[in-house]
Chain A
Amino acid sequence: MLAETMTVVYERPETLLPVVSHYCPGCSHGIIHRLVAEVIDELGVREQTIGVASVGCSVFSYNYLDYDFAQAPHGRAPAMATGIKRYRPNHVVFTYQGDGDLASIGAAEIIHAAARGENITVIFVNNAVFGMTGGQMAPTTLPHMKTTSSPQGRDVATMGFPIRVSEMLATLDGPAYIVRRAVSDPATINRTKKAIRTAFQAQLHGLGFSMVEILAACPINWDMQPEDALQHIKNAMIPYYPLGDYKVIDAVKALA
């Protein structure tokens, strides 16, 4: 009798593959992968989706996400996605990029994909550090933050200032939807999922370039416990990278 009254309240999204994670304990990629999978499942577009993985920890995002996938050279995912989308305009094309990939070596490609209003979706995971190579300074590393290549902390006098990518891209006329979210607690995670959904919907409606920047934890390279890393997003990351909607064109607002 008990079985009849039980309902499923939480399960693995259909397009998130049941495999062992290679990500470090406390890493945010797992959560963000899941959010992407939930949104693709809910929109029912798995069979028309093509992902472009980047170089960095998420190089293996296709091991978890059950879609056709290409894997781009470092930083070039928006260019590859452009090539795919221009040839297959009715497919859902997204890139999944970290901050080293997108804001450093791939700065030109992301700016121009945005400026063209390329009808793709970019999932931009910003954890302020090069994760895969072991925690070097990224363009997004906070001032004074210690990394393996800024061992005394990022000195802005010689190492420059962090780049606020969402604000920068929002100055362009091309993008349809640019927001910054975080995955530091259930409330921010829910808001992130909504933003990912809006970004993909914008693409499905042909409205142009959409990007969700997500402030994420990298406890191993931040040298923090996972819980402390989540607090660090709130206490250090969000003050420098305010959450918010940086560009939402009217046609995207009308989707809601």
Chain B
Amino acid sequence: MNRELWEGNQAIAEAAVRGGLEAYFGYPITPQTELLEYLSKRMPELGRAFVQAESELAAINMVYGAATAGARTMTSSSSPGVSLMQEGLSYIAGSEVPCVIVDMMRGGPGLGNISPGQADYNQLVRGGGHGDYHSLVLAPSTIQEAVTLTYNAFDLAEKYRGIVVIAADGNIGQMMEPVVMPPMRQIGHADRGWELSGAAGRPRRIISSIGLDPEVMERINARLQARYREIEANEVRFAERQTEDADLLVVAFGSAARIAQTAIREARARGIRVGLFRPITLWPFPYQRLAELAQRIPRLLVVEMNAGQMLNDVRLAVGPQAVVSFYGRTGGQVPMPEEILAQIGGMAPTPSTNGARAIALL
């Protein structure tokens, strides 16, 4: 396996192609545009569908259409574009068809800027559009991880007949790292039993998210919720580093977790025992594992590139017994390791209400 230098956006695009992407629809927006540009060349050369849509609204509805027709299909965007897609995502969830969305998050709200951000957390994790639904949200912290998650995202989307989101940010999208690309998968599949392929030799099929009768609509909701419980049982993913002897646990995802890792290394060099807990699935959130860890390490520092969105999930996980601090940068600002290190140091002397022993000072 060769390690090759790839830009994040292009690496994700190639990983999607190798994972079996058959139809891509997108709209230019920084910092994900290279993904669209790459596929504008790559998809036609493989005889696969590529359309630059007139808007993110159209792009997500093209994805919706291709998904109903049984395609492995994807779109990519960044925060304001993903906001526009929420209508289509709600319909896709309600219709129970699979697709993959890449969100290279940037600074917001509003037009914001093109610098990296993580403030789409709530939008992506809580559903985002109207109605009770969830997307399976995967947050890579390296380009290699983004490649692996994207490559396997279509299988997950098809397994659960739903939306899988690759939640990354401008850091992941635009930096370059060595990557081992997975092998090219064959495309094509047997009839899945629900896709629209023309009613040849079978009764026709209808894919719709409508349920005018509330009893019917509630049954659809119950089916969706049962599937979400299944995803929660099967798909929770996280990474832990140096938690065994830790007195303090940093919780961070995506590129914020990598920056935190640098701060943790420095803290350990100064004798502070800090560990890292990094959710890979933002939904389903690893509540259970984090709760277990917090029993042993009841001091936590949550670091995000937003004003504290995952923070709420961390608090839900650990309950009121743990001491939870937060450090966030907003508006496209990326925290420096020194800032996080200062926070780590600052947490140490605070008297604890639960008897946790004080950790070493900076």
Contact = CB atoms under 8 A, between A and B. Distances in A.
Interface of A: 46-50, 52-53, 59, 62, 66-73, 76, 79-88, 91, 108-109, 111-112, 116
Nearest to A105: B57
A87 B57 contact: no
Interface string B225-242: 000000000000000000
Contacts of A79: 53, 57-59, 61-62, 64-65
A87 B61 contact: no
A66 B210 contact: no
Given A49-B198, A87-B70, A73 B61 contact: yes
B208 A76 contact: no
Given A80-B62, A86-B66, 6 more contacts: A67-B198, A71-B210, A72-B65, A84-B196, A86-B62, A108-B58
B58 A112 contact: yes
A83 B63 contact: yes
14 contacts: A47-B199, A47-B200, A49-B199, A69-B207, A71-B209, A79-B57, A82-B58, A83-B62, A83-B67, A88-B197, A88-B198, A108-B58, A109-B54, A111-B54
A116 B200 CA distance: 29
A109 B61 contact: yes
Closest 9 CB pairs of A and B: A83-B65, A80-B65, A79-B61, A71-B208, A83-B66, A83-B62, A47-B200, A112-B54, A76-B61
B88 interface: yes
Nearest to A50: B196
B10 to A, nearest CB: 22
Given A76-B58, A84-B65, A47 B206 contact: no
B25 A68 contact: no
Contacts of A68: 196-199, 204-206
Nearest to A82: B62
A219 to B, nearest CB: 23
Max chain B Cβ within 10 angstroms of own Cβ: one of A79, A83, A91: A83
B302 to A, nearest CB: 36
A82 B59 CA distance: 10
Contacts of A62: 206, 208
B64 A83 contact: yes
Given A47-B201, A83-B65, A84-B68, A76 B25 contact: no
B18 to A, nearest CB: 19
A101 to B, nearest CB: 13
B161 to A, nearest CB: 15
A73 B64 CA distance: 10
Nearest to B210: A71
Interface string B91-113: 10001000000000000000000
Interface residues of B, number: 40
Contact of A108 (B57, B63, B65, B196): B57
Nearest to B71: A87
Contacts of A49: 198-199
B interface majority secondary structure: mixed
A58 to B, nearest CB: 12
B252 interface: no
Interface in B20-65: 22-23, 25, 49, 51, 53-55, 57-59, 61-65
Contacts of B209: 71
A76 to B, nearest CB: 4
Contacts of B62: 79-80, 82-83, 86
B58 A67 contact: no
A192 B64 CA distance: 31
A59 B61 contact: no
B208 A83 contact: no
A116 B49 CA distance: 14
A71 B49 CA distance: 22
Interface string B136-165: 000000000000000000000000000000
Contacts of A47: 198-201
A184 B91 CA distance: 36
A92 to B, nearest CB: 8
B65 A48 contact: no
A70 B196 contact: yes
A9 B207 CA distance: 35
Contacts of A72: 61, 64-65, 91
Contacts of B49: 86-87
A49 B23 CA distance: 20
B216 to A, nearest CB: 14
B198 A91 contact: yes
Contacts of A116: 51
Contact of B65 (A52, A59, A111): A52
A81 B209 CA distance: 16
Nearest to B66: A83
B57 A76 contact: yes
Q: Interface centre among A53, A71, A82, by most B CB within 10 Å?
A: A82
A83 B205 contact: no
Interface string B61-94: 1111111111101000000000000011001000
A49 B69 CA distance: 12
Contacts of B25: 82-83
B204 A80 contact: no
Contact of B69 (A59, A71, A84, A112): A84
A48 B198 contact: yes
A89 B199 CA distance: 16
Contacts of B58: 76, 79, 82, 108-109, 112
Contacts of A112: 53-54, 58
A56 B71 CA distance: 27
A47, A66, A88, A91 pick with most chain B CB within 10 angstroms: A88
